[in-house]
Amino acid sequence: MFATFDNHHHGAPHVAVWLAMPLGAQEALVYRDPRRFFVPPYVGARGWVGVRLDNRPSWKLVEKVVREAHAFIENKNPKNPQNPLPRRGRGQGEGAGKGEGAGSR
């Protein structure tokens, strides 16, 4: 997931979208324009950034940061052939290929 919609979440005074962003982007955006960008609760500690949508946003800027968030998550996707990181999941990791999986017991 690269984005989530915030419609006055827990009484927040705004409508916004929360976006997963690369390291450093949150600080740069919030510092540059704190009336438009903010650190969202829960996911803000992981670098996500909130973009207010209810105060006449620049839709071109909104489109730009949404596309950046999508590209950031897409590049982390293990199915992406350009991503050299191994996927740790079902059938991979410790014991994979050694007959120690769930089906071998």
Phi, psi of 34 (to 5 degrees): -70, -15
Q: Is residue 31 part of a domain?
A: yes
Query: Are the C-beta atoms of 35 and 55 separated by less than 8 Å?
Result: yes
What domain count does the chain have?
1
> Global pTM?
0.69
Domain that holds residue 46: 3-76
pLDDT tens for 79-97 read: 645 544 444 445 444 444 4
Q: Is residue 21 part of a domain?
A: yes
Query: Are the C-beta atoms of 2 and 72 separated by less than 8 Å?
Result: yes
Residues of the chain with pLDDT under 70: 77-105
